[in-house]
């Protein structure tokens, strides 16, 4: 009897303990989950303001063009400047950080805007606006070195060739009327051949082979420049222009390819004025335009155009500047 009583009593105590502790454990687990949730939420909200998070999505892409580089070397091949510009445009297009129109052409080259080491800023900015781009790049091929070395003895002789180049690039914001980046790079390209008694049966045109190696060195330098430019583009503000107004529709010269989205709000500004030094006539830059109102992107047009409706304000004209609100 006593043994049965003790067994029943022990079972009752165990059940009471389970009832007492069980809910507490459940509450503790739930409490821990809630704390983890609020802690994670707090960490997220403390990483920066909502505006900061939106800014991380970046500005729309800028339209960009590269003029053929100035060849400032004894290697008087006019094609080297075109090789440099073509490779830089191609490399920038690959990065996806800029809009590089395929159909743009200019009768000018970088040489037309250099005066020694200085740049004729005013005509350069005018050329950029004529081309309809936000950013314009000019540059120089400053030095070219070409060397060859071959074995003088032996049945099979190795001939080694190397070309090295120094190039400089200058990036201009046509909207702001100012230089925003200047940098230079060095690169090289090499080749090696093994021939019987050092005779190169394929060397029917040594000049052509030399220029091919120099061109490859220039292309290598352009790829290095493109990487630096792509990083710099994120820090440059974007702007487009009103191309046409028809009824209640406003057509903007940037669209899907530039990275605009349906629903984006664009602020409209007057174009501002070009400011010149009254004594020297030197171009100083462009003044900030006055705000007119806002547009809302409602559709796209062609490869890189947008259709917008008037969101606020008015008195808009073709050529007015638009910026992401």
Q: In this predicted model, what pLDDT tens digit does every residue of 58-83 receive, in sequence order?
A: 578 899 999 999 999 988 767 899 99
Q: In this predicted model, what pLDDT tens digit does every residue of 161-171 receive, in sequence order?
A: 899 999 999 99
Distance in angstroms (rounded) separating the CA atoms of residues 207 and 147: 13
Q: In this predicted model, what pLDDT tens digit does every residue of 173-184 receive, in sequence order?
A: 988 888 999 999
Cα 43 → chain centroid: 31
Question: At residue 161, what are phi and psi to the nearest 5 degrees?
Answer: -130, 145
Quickly tell me which residue has 């830089």 as its tokens: 88
Q: In this predicted model, what pLDDT tens digit does every residue of 261-317 receive, in sequence order?
A: 999 999 999 877 777 778 777 777 777 888 999 999 999 999 899 999 999 999 999
């Amino acid at each position: 009897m006593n043994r049965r009583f003790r067994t029943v009593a022990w079972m009752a105590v165990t059940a009471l303990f389970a009832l007492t502790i069980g809910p507490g454990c459940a509450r503790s687990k739930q409490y821990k989950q809630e704390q983890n949730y609020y802690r994670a939420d707090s960490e997220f909200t403390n990483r920066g303001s909502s505006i900061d998070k939106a800014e991380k999505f970046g500005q729309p892409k800028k339209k960009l063009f590269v003029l053929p580089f100035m060849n400032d070397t004894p290697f008087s091949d006019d094609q080297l400047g075109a090789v440099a510009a073509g490779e830089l445009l191609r490399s920038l297009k690959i990065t996806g950080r800029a809009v590089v129109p395929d159909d743009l052409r200019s009768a000018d080259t970088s040489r037309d805007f250099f005066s020694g080491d200085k740049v004729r800023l005013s005509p350069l900015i005018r050329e950029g606006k004529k081309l309809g781009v936000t950013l314009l790049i000019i540059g120089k091929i400053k030095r070219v070195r070409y060397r060859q070395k071959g074995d003088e003895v032996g049945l099979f002789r190795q001939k080694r060739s190397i070309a090295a180049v120094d190039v400089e690039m200058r990036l201009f914001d046509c909207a702001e009327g100012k230089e925003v980046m200047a940098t230079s790079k060095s690169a090289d390209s090499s080749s090696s051949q093994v021939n019987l008694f050092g005779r190169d049966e394929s060397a029917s045109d040594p000049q052509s082979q030399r220029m091919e190696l120099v061109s490859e060195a220039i292309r290598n330098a352009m790829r290095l420049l493109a990487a630096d430019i792509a990083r710099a583009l994120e820090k440059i503000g974007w702007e487009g222009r009103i191309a046409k107004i028809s009824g209640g529709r406003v057509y903007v010269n940037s669209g899907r390819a530039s990275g605009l989205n349906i629903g984006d709000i664009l602020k409209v500004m007057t174009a501002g004025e070009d400011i010149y030094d009254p004594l020297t006539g030197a171009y100083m830059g462009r003044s900030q335009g006055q705000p007119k109102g806002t547009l809302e992107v409602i559709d796209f047009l062609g490869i890189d155009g947008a259709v917008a409706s008037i969101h606020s304000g008015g008195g808009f004209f073709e050529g007015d500047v638009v910026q992401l609100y």
